[in-house]
Amino acid sequence: MSETLEKFLNRVAESAEQSTLVKMTLSKPVQKHDDLRNIYVKPVLIKEKRLFAFTYHYERRDEVKNYDATQMLDMLREMIPNRFLNAVLFTVSEDVTLLVSNKGKATIQTKKVQECREQNLEHDKLKARLVNPANPWWYQLGLTTREGKITADMQHKFKQIYKYAEIVESLIKPMKFEGTVHIADMGAGKGYLTFALYELLTQRLNLDVDIKGVEIRPDLVMKINEIIKANNLKGLEFVESSIEAYHPEKLDVLIALHACNTATDDAIASGIKAGAELIVCAPCCHKQIRQEMERSGRFDAITRYGIFLERQAVMVTDTIRALILEYFGYKTQVMEFIEMEHTPKNVLLVGRRTSKVAKDPKILQQIADLKARYGIGRHYLEAALGI
């Protein structure tokens, strides 16, 4: 193994010295669940110095580090075969592939190429990422180290944040806004998702925004506003208020993630009343409907089991919310927010405002039928909207 590896590394060193190295790739992680999926290497010229840029492709982010020739070879020795079993060297005239089996047997394959290849010494810039952990506010929020590396205990949280950013980008990108986009993040809490939203919209989509993080706890509001001020994040502010008491004058997008129990309904009602173009909610703690179902005593073969009663209450609550959104002219969609392994609160309710208000009596009848079936008097959102 060591002899074959050294032979491969000698080819790498020779191509680096002769300026024939075009690129390299390291792939097939030893550990299938390794967050580092592969590494891409290319020569670059930085301040008249020839270096080798290593792009580390992680599951949710990329990192680039530059090394000289000696450091490059040391890094390859560290990565092969400890982290990766395959490596391919692309030169101007041939491809050299190192393959290491799961049992540690190494082989080298060489293939001459016909096409004309040249070195490209331009320094690649990282493509714009949805959420960049290197931004200083993520350290100040407690998710990363000073160097921008996600801490071990925040890996799952960051995956949730990134998934949220992916979904919100897919929802907002097709929409047409004129001027400043007014957004309210109801029940913003520690601000993780609010900052991800701000970063996505301003740094990736280049939108002019006015984002208000609505949070009732004054200590959190003060702390987050200090971080906002320290980073000069224009268009972002936290306001101290309950969801029920917050009534924005202008609202294009309403976000309410994990607002507890009927606070989700207060947020939806606020968005509908303000005529928000987009309403995005991840409901939480569906106590109101479950309690009504329990009081009614109207159990069937499913709901007489406690755990199924809980799940059915969740489905009924969010179904009625979706129907009420449709009644007020929103096209609704229910999707998975993030895999259950990361959080059990994984349902995302999305409403996009259409050109007309439906107010179809058939929708109200569907709601009435659901309530009658489960012994529900009134859904909180009905009362909040006066229907």
Mean pLDDT by 10 residues, the chain (387 residues): 87 92 93 88 87 88 89 94 93 92 89 73 57 90 88 86 88 89 94 94 90 96 96 95 91 89 90 94 82 77 75 87 94 73 66 82 92 88 89
Does residue 20 lie in a domain region?
yes
- Residues 59 and 141 reside in one and the same domain: no
Q: Are residues 342 and 375 in the same domain?
A: yes
189 in any annotated domain: yes
pLDDT of residue 1: 58
Q: Which residues contact 232 (CB under 8 A, 6 or more apart)?
A: none
131 found inside a domain: no
Are residue 166 and residue 67 in the same domain, yes or no? no
- Given 80, 112, 144, the domain boundary residue is 112
Task: Specify the pLDDT at position 178.
Answer: 85
**Residue 35, CB-side half-sphere exposure with 13 Å CA sphere:** 12
Domain residue limits at 40? 2-112
Any idea what the CATH number is for the domain that residue 239 is in?
Answer: 3.40.50.150
* 118, part of any domain: no
Predicted pLDDT of residue 260 = 80
> Is residue 57 in a domain?
yes
Q: Are residues 17 and 163 in the same domain?
A: no
259 and 317: one domain?
yes
Q: Which two tokens stand for residue 297?
A: 């005593």
Of 150, 128, 17, 142, nearest to 72 by C-alpha is 17
130 occurs within a structural domain: no
> Is 120 domain-assigned?
no
Same domain, 257 and 369: yes
Please tell me whether residues 108 and 172 are part of one structural domain: no
Instruction: Report if residue 70 sits inside a domain.
Output: yes
**Residue 170 shares a structural domain with residue 208:** yes
Number of domains forming the structure of the chain? 2
Domain-terminating residue out of 48, 80, 112: 112
Instruction: Quote the pLDDT of residue 153.
Output: 87
Same domain, 247 and 377: yes
Task: Give the angle 84-90-96 at the CA atoms, nearest 5°.
Answer: 65
Q: Tell me what pLDDT residue 310 has.
A: 80
Whether 162 and 298 map to the same domain: the answer is: yes
- Indicate if 106 and 141 belong to the same structural domain: no
Full-model pTM: 0.65
Last residue of a domain, one of 112, 128, 160: 112
Q: Same domain, yes or no, for 223 and 334?
A: yes
